[in-house]
Chain A
Amino acid sequence: MSEMETEEKKYDRILNILRKSKPQLTGMEDIEEKVLNRIRVPDKAKLTLSDLLDYMFSWVYVGWVRRSLIAASILIVIVFGYQQAMILKRVNSLTDRTIFTESMMVTGGSDEIHDKLLLYKLTDRKSHDKQIKISERQMKRLIEAVNELQLKYDDLMRMIEENPDLKKYIDERLTEENREKLKL
């Protein structure tokens, strides 16, 4: 007889013995009496901790509830991990941006292209990366800003021309060089 068959036989024999040896319940009357006593006396409002835990968590013994909870917790962990990765990415990109505090130019609020141009100017026309990448949308905004600036400049010049006192004042204040620049 092969070894495997012998092992199987041993296993089957032991199982057979255990199956035949049904546990014998003794003291049945005691159990019945205790149960009847508990049933007769109405349960008082007092809750034991194990009763409370049983009441709160007995639903986890239901198979589909347990599986759903496991799936939900895995999903929550994945979503959390993804959110953390996004936050980290955003923080890293923010630290790369240079933040300037200065008065707003007439073109309005600051945006990325504005920051890049200002940086370009401040670093004596030497760009950080030797080049600046801008999108078509940013180019359009730049052109609009320039046009707006041109209009405001024209308005300012007209105001100065219409007001001789103002023109005189500005003439006195400006140096020759600056006068040339402003084309007064």
Chain B
Amino acid sequence: MVSPFAFSVAFRILGDEETAKDIVQESLITVWKKLKKIRSSDSFKTWIYRIVVNKCYDQMRKMKREPGFRPDEQAWSVISNHISENPVSELENGETARIINLLTEKLSPRQKTVFVLSDLEEMTPDEVSAITGMSKRNVKANLYYARKNISSMINKYV
């Protein structure tokens, strides 16, 4: 029950399936070890999200940027194709990862995390604030910059 939403968050933040699975595995082990610290069932989901997000931060620090990374023409065309389809079809994992990586290429880890949690996982600012430890004002600021950046990328390439 925990794994699907943990995987969804980790995958969307990190953009890699195998790494996201490792994060899910590590998060479940951490949950098991620290289960005694849960105060109530209400905060359980927030607590798990927090563990996943923190592990994603650690991973993002370890991951090195590929030198000379450039926006992928092919991936942009995938986006264009999907936008023009009616009704819109779902993307596969690989396509989703590519698109998210493209759109969030220039975002900082915090901006990317806030964008994923707010706009993709559809969480409220309160929930995002509780998970990331940022104030609501910071959450809104990071989200604003993330959206602005992503919009400019979309307008440039689509």
Bound CA–CA A62/B50 (angstroms): 10
CB-CB < 8 A to B11: which residues of A? 23
In the complex, the answer to whether A23 meets B83 with C-beta atoms within 8 Å is no
Q: Tell me the complex Cα distance, A19–B11, Å.
A: 13
Answer whether residue B100 sits at the interface, using C-beta atoms and an 8 A cutoff: yes
Kindly state whether residue B120 has any CB partner on chain A within 8 Å. Answer: yes
Q: Is the CB of A18 within 8 A of B88?
A: no
* B133 pairs with A63, CB closer than 8 A: yes
In contact, B93 and A23 (Cβ under 8 angstroms)? yes
Considering the chains assembled together, what is the distance between the CA atoms of A18 and B13 in angstroms?
13
The verdict on B4 contacting chain A, using a C-beta distance below 8 Å, is: yes
- The answer to whether B29 and A39 touch across the interface, beta carbons within 8 angstroms, is yes
Any A CB within 8 A of the CB of B54: yes
* B25 partner residues in chain A, CB cutoff 8 A: 31, 34-35
A61 touching B154, Cβ below 8 Å: no
Kindly state the interface size class of chain B when it binds its partner.
35 or more
Can you pick out 24 interface pairs between chain A and chain B where the beta carbons lie within 8 Å of each other?
A7-B151, A10-B154, A10-B158, A11-B154, A13-B83, A13-B88, A14-B82, A17-B83, A17-B88, A17-B90, A21-B92, A23-B7, A23-B12, A25-B8, A27-B21, A28-B3, A31-B25, A35-B25, A35-B28, A35-B29, A54-B58, A61-B54, A62-B133, A63-B133
**Contact flags A3-46 to B (C-beta < 8 A → 1, else 0):** 00001001101111111111111011001001100110000000
Q: Is A66 among interface residues, defined by CB-CB distance under 8 A?
A: yes
CB distance B83 to A10 under 8 Å?
yes
- Chain B residues positioned under 8 Å from A54 (CB to CB): 58
Taking a contact as CB atoms under 8 Å apart, the answer to whether B83 and A19 are in contact is no
Q: Is B143 an interface residue (CB 8 A)?
A: no
| B91 in the interface (beta carbon within 8 A) | yes
Determine the residue in chain A with the shortest Cβ distance to B100. A18
Contacts of B124-158 to chain A: CB distance below 8 A:
129, 132-135, 147, 150-151, 154-155, 158
Known contacts A10-B83, A11-B151, A19-B122; A63 and B135 CB within 8 A of each other? yes
CB-contact partner of B7 in A7, A14, A25, under 8 A = A25
**Contact A19 to B134, CB < 8 A, known contacts A10-B83, A13-B88, A28-B3:** no
